[in-house]
Structure 1
C-alpha cells in the first residue's frame, strides 16, 4: 500500500550578511494536502550525482535564480517521451552556474496534466543529486495504481516549495522545475503481430490492429488480390 509522504513546513529563510540562508524546518509523518493537491506514494529508487556548486559567501540578492535542466529524458513538447507502466525510468539533470544556495534536499514528483491535484511521489533526495531511477513498477499497486495519462515532472527545493515561491532577494536559489512532460501507459492492450498466434506481419500498416479483426480481413484481401491478378492475366 502507498503511504502519503511526510509533510514538510518551512519558515521563510532569512539572508545573513554572508548570503547563507537561515531558518528552521519541521515535519510530521502525515498525508499533507497542499495548495496543489495531495501527494501519494512511497518514495523509493536509487539516486546518484556529484556536488553542485557550493553555497557562496559572494551571493548577491541581485543574482539570477538558478535553473535546473533535464538531460534524460529530453523534454519535447511536440512528442513527449512515453513509458510503459512497469519499467524503471531514469531521470537525469544538471544545475546551471547560478546555483549559489545548494538545496539540502530535493523532492521529485509528477502530477497529472488533466488533474494537477493528483500528485505521484517519485523520490526525496539529497540536494547534490543529479540522477534518479524511479522504480515505477514497484510503486504501482492496487491501492494507488499508476494511471495511463500525461504527467509533468516537478523537482523542487524544500526551501522554495512546489509552488516555486523563491524568497525575496532569492538570487542563487534553485527554481522549481516543471519543464518535462511525459506519458505513462499500460502496454497490455496490444500484442505485436509477430507474437500473435498465428503470427501476422509485425511491420505492416495493420500490425497494430486487433488480432481477430485482422484475421477476419486477411481472407477478403487475399480473394481480392487473386481476382485482380487473374483479371490482368486474362485481359
Structure 2
C-alpha cells in the first residue's frame, strides 16, 4: 500500500468524503487482467464495492466516493461507524481464494475506520454522559461498608493471634 501509508498509523475516514487508496504490484509473474476492490465490515457482515474490473497499472489508484455510494445503493447496507477491511483480488477469482505462486494473492491487510459526521454542538449545549467521574452516594456507601468489613476482619485476626500467642 502506498496510500494510506503502511506506517502512517490508524486511518479514519469520514462517511461522505472521498477516500483514496493507492498501491503497486511486486513479484508478479502473471499479472491479472483486472482487479476488484472491496471493503468489508464484519459487524454488519456487509461487503461494499469500491471498484470492480479495474485494469492493471504499475501504480494502481482508486478513489472511493463514500457519499455517492449511499445514493447509488439505497437498498444496500448503510455505512457504520466501525472498522473496515480493504480487499484487493483478481477479478477472475474471489477474495477467499488462496494465492498461487506468481499470481496476485488476495490482499486483506489494510484496516481502516469510518465514522459518521456529527452536527456542531456549542460548548454551552454539550452534555457528556461519561464525563462525570464522581462516585455516586450508593457507591460511596458500598465502599464504606467494604472498608469497615475489611478493617473488622483484620482487627479480629490480629486480636485472636495475639491472644493465643500465635503471633
Aligned residue number for residue 20 of structure 2 = 90
2:62 is equivalent to residue 132 of structure 1: yes
SS in structure 2 of the partner of residue 152 of structure 1 = strand
2:28 is equivalent to residue 99 of structure 1: yes
Which of 152, 156, 170 matches 2:89?
156
Which of 113, 125, 129 matches 1:183?
113
Runs of at least 5 residues in structure 1 that lack an aligned partner in the other structure = 1-69, 201-209, 215-235
Q: Per-residue CA shift, 1:124-158, capped at 9, x if unaligned? A: 11122610011111001443222221100000012
Please tell me whether the aligned partners of residues 87 and 137 of structure 1 are also in contact (alpha carbons under 8 angstroms). yes
The verdict on how the C-alpha distance between 1:76 and 1:152 changes in structure 2, with shifts beyond 3 A counting, is farther
Q: Per-residue CA shift, 1:96-123, capped at 9, x if unaligned? A: 1x111111110000111334x4111110
The verdict on how the C-alpha distance between 1:74 and 1:211 changes in structure 2, with shifts beyond 3 A counting, is farther
Please, what is the CA RMSD of the aligned residues?
Answer: 2.4
Q: In 1, distance between residues paired with 2:125 and 2:75?
A: 32
Higher helix share: 2
Q: Which has the larger radius of gyration?
A: 2
TM-score, reference length from structure 1: 0.47
Q: In 2, distance between residues paired with 1:146 and 1:114?
A: 11
Which of 35, 38, 47 matches 1:109?
38
Aligned residue number for residue 151 of structure 2 = none
Q: Per-residue CA shift, 1:26-48, capped at 9, x if unaligned? A: xxxxxxxxxxxxxxxxxxxxxxx
Q: What is the correspondence of 1:208-219 to structure 2 with a 5 Å cutoff?
A: 211-213=125-127
Q: Point out 4+ residue stretches in structure 1 off by more than 4 angstroms.
A: none
Runs of at least 5 residues in structure 2 that lack an aligned partner in the other structure = 129-167
Q: What is the correspondence of 1:198-209 to structure 2 with a 5 Å cutoff?
A: none
